[in-house]
Copies of this chain bind each other. A is one copy, B any other.
Amino acid sequence: MVQLGANRYGKAEVRVVHVARGAAPDGGDVIKDWNVSSSLSGDLAGTHLSGDNSNVLATDSQKNTSYAFAKAMGGGEVEAYALALATHYVDTQEPITRARIAVQEYGWTPIPVNGHSFARSGQYTRTTTVIHDADVGTSVVSGIEDLVVLKTTDSEFWGFPRDPYTTLAETTDRMLATEVSARWRFRSAAADWAEVHAAAVSALLSAFAGTHSLSLQQTLYAIGERILTDLPALCEVRLALPNKHHFLVDLEPFGLSNDNEVYIAADRPYGLIEGTVLADDATDPGIAWD
């Protein structure tokens, strides 16, 4: 005999764009470009076991709700919008006891010709995941992804064990590149979202650039430490850092030297460093990372 375990359902990747006309300090428009996914859980055994959908708020309704809530909240910060959505579902749908709202935000830069033209910035994607549970409470985890950073020097890798499968040479000067996925957990569901976002990205960039790296793990820890030190509103940082290898090309067969000038940017395989840094007084994560 079998039974139903954990489950959730929702509408993924609802593409919402909001324009706040004239809302910029210089009188230009402010644009928000979001990719919104909602997931609901609760008393959903009926639909799984017998196809009874009386507790299943349609994913199409969730799509509609994502758009409707953008009317009032679309000009604000993505965390506030996600909190409003998550709370709405639990408050209004009795069988739904938990809602998870994940949003990606794409950045746009004004084209300095008029107040209504923009170019997509492309440097990184801002993210947030809000989970609101009727019993457990509310968590907010924000972050960034798709940020590719590189150091041309100030990175070493040596002193590692040499097992029978080890052929890698030690190096005291290598190129280091990674595509940052970072998520930071807030201590509470109230914060200055915009300020924390800006300061965390700034901390991340300066820790990456400023750390003399003996390993990508060390860089990871330094980034997490810097973010938590700079941002008391946060208590935990999780990072996934693929090591985007740049190998020096051997130019000797062609009678040329290569004094750390010409590199191969490799695709696969790549190193993948994943780690968590926590404030000593971090709150209980509860369901924040689900």
Q: Give chain A's interface residues, CB within 8 Å of chain B.
A: 1-21, 29, 31, 33, 37, 39, 44, 47-65, 67-68, 70-71, 74, 92-93, 108-109, 111, 113-114, 116-124, 146-154, 156-161, 163-168, 175, 205-206, 208-210, 213-218, 220-221, 224-225, 228-229, 236, 238, 242-243, 246, 249, 251, 253-256, 258, 260-280
Q: Which residues of B contact A17 (CB under 8 A)?
A: 175, 246, 262-265
Contact among B62, B120, B150, B266 for A108, CB-based, below 8 A: B150
Shortest distance between the CB of A106 and any CB in chain B (Å): 9
19 more contacts with CB within 8 A, not counting A61-B163, A122-B146, are A4-B276, A4-B277, A9-B217, A13-B270, A21-B260, A39-B272, A48-B218, A51-B218, A52-B159, A53-B157, A54-B160, A55-B161, A56-B217, A61-B166, A64-B167, A71-B251, A117-B149, A118-B152, A122-B123
| Docked-complex contact B165 and A148, CB < 8 angstroms | no
Are the C-beta atoms of A71 and B277 separated by less than 8 Å?
no
Is the beta-carbon distance between A206 and B111 smaller than 8 angstroms? yes
Contact present for A29 and B152 (CB under 8 Å): yes
In the bound assembly, the distance between CA atoms of A10 and B57 in angstroms comes to: 38
Chain copies in the assembly?
Answer: 4
Contacts of A58 in B (CB 8 A): 157, 160, 166, 168
**In the complex the two chains form, is B271's CB within 8 Å of A10's CB?**
yes
A108 to B48: give the CA distance in the assembly, Å. Answer: 28
Please tell me which one of the listed residues B2, B9, B52 contacts residue A280 in the complex, with CB atoms under 8 A apart: B2
Q: A57-B160, A256-B71, A277-B4 are in contact. Are A11 and B269 (CB under 8 A)?
A: yes
CA separation between A279 and B5, bound complex, in Å? Answer: 10
Q: Give every chain B residue within 8 A of A217 (Cβ-Cβ).
A: 7, 9, 44, 47-48, 51, 56
Knowing A71-B262, A263-B19, A279-B1, say if A9 contacts B113 (CB, 8 Å).
no
Q: Which residues of B contact A157 (CB under 8 A)?
A: 53, 58
Is A271's CB under 8 angstroms from B163's CB?
A: no
B205 close to A92 (CB less than 8 A): no
CB distance from A38 to the nearest CB of B (A): 9
Q: Determine the distance from Cα of A113 to Cα of B249 in the docked complex, in whole angstroms.
A: 28
25 residue pairs of the A-B complex, CB under 8 angstroms, read: A1-B279, A5-B275, A5-B276, A7-B274, A9-B273, A14-B269, A19-B152, A19-B175, A21-B260, A44-B217, A47-B217, A50-B218, A51-B213, A52-B159, A53-B160, A57-B161, A67-B251, A67-B262, A71-B258, A74-B261, A93-B161, A111-B149, A114-B210, A116-B153, A120-B149
